[in-house]
């Protein structure tokens, strides 16, 4: 199988640390894109990974990308293809969509948290500025607290916790849902001279100064205490 690094793709959105590039059928069939979904470390908190993936399945996925979905490959500045990001369920009447990404274990490990964050910033910006979306939805495993906090720097707000919603094999865990709305996106961009991602240096500074008492921790405390007490009382009526 040809190495993923040898496939040069056309850049669609250019960033500081990464570019978002346009996948092709040749890339889907002849790269190791498919293998990202066979790596248990990568898919640990994803629904994928139960059944093996191969290049035939990946090509079929590529050939069946619908008009309500935008899929781009995350490429670092060394021209290594290191992940995939997508907007799905793009609904122009409701002006909403979902966003998701998968980052491989290739590339510079030290930059991985910032690469993922910038990819989300670039794709979120595209959703609002180019697709005229007004709400972008996302969600993740409850264990991804650090990732959740970093996404808040892009305007994403925690909207709810979901008990036992994540099910994979024998694992049953909670998950969380988040979203960023147009007014919050605009407000954050205004503070950064018009850009959601102003620089990696500034993002590192913000992460370093993040509040110790996160909203996720506060909401989990509510769920585990006040919420439980409330519904215990209701169910006893």
Compute the distance between CA of residue 160 and CA of residue 96 in angstroms, rounded to an integer.
Answer: 18
Question: Angle at the Cα of 173 (from 105 to 87), degrees rounded to 5?
Answer: 55
CA distance 197 to 118: 7
DSSP reduced 3-state for 63? helix
Contacts of 35 (CB under 8 A, 6+ apart): 53
What's the pLDDT at 122?
Answer: 98
Q: What is the pLDDT of residue 7?
A: 61
10, 1, 80: which is closest to 35 by C-alpha?
Answer: 1
Distance CA 75, CA 39 (A): 19
Q: Chain centroid to CA 95: how far?
A: 19
What local confidence, expressed as pLDDT, does residue 2 receive?
37
pLDDT of 110 reads 86
| Tens of each residue's pLDDT in the chain, 237 residues | 334 444 689 999 999 999 999 999 999 999 999 999 999 999 999 999 999 999 999 999 999 999 999 999 999 999 899 999 999 999 999 999 999 999 998 877 888 899 999 999 999 999 999 999 999 999 999 999 999 999 999 999 999 999 999 999 999 999 999 999 999 999 999 999 999 999 999 999 999 999 989 999 999 999 989 998 999 999 999
Q: What is the end-to-end Cα distance of the chain in Å, rounded?
A: 64
The CA-based angle 119-47-181, given to 5 degrees, is 45
Read off the tokens for 160. Answer: 């709810």
- What single DSSP character describes residue 111? G
Burial (0-12, 13-18, 19+ Cβ within 10 Å), 227: middle
Which domains does the chain show, CATH number per domain? 4-227 (3.40.630.30)
Measuring CA to CA, which residue among 214, 153, 236, 223 is closest to residue 189?
A: 153
């Amino acid at each position: 199988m040809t190495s993923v690094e040898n496939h040069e793709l056309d850049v669609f959105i250019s960033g500081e640390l990464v570019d978002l590039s346009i996948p092709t059928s040749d890339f889907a069939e002849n790269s190791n894109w498919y293998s990202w979904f066979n790596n248990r470390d990568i898919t640990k908190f994803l629904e994928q990974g139960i059944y093996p993936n191969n290049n035939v399945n990946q090509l079929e996925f590529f050939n069946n990308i619908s008009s309500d979905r935008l899929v781009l490959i995350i490429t670092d500045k060394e021209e290594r293809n290191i992940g995939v990001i997508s907007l799905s369920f793009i609904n122009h009447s409701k002006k909403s969509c979902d966003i998701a990404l998968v980052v491989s274990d290739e590339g510079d490990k030290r930059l991985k948290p910032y690469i993922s964050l910038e990819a989300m910033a670039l794709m979120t910006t595209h959703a609002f500025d180019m697709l005229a979306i007004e709400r972008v939805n996302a969600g993740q495993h409850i264990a991804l607290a650090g990732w959740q906090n970093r996404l808040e720097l892009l305007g994403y707000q925690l909207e709810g916790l979901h008990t036992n919603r994540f099910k994979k094999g024998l694992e049953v865990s909670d998950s969380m849902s988040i979203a960023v709305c147009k007014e919050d996106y605009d407000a954050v961009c205004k503070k950064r001279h018009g850009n959601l991602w102003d620089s990696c240096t500034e993002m590192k500074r913000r992460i370093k100064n993040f509040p110790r008492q996160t909203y996720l921790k506060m909401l989990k405390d509510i769920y585990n205490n006040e919420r439980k007490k409330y519904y215990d009382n209701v169910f006893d009526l």
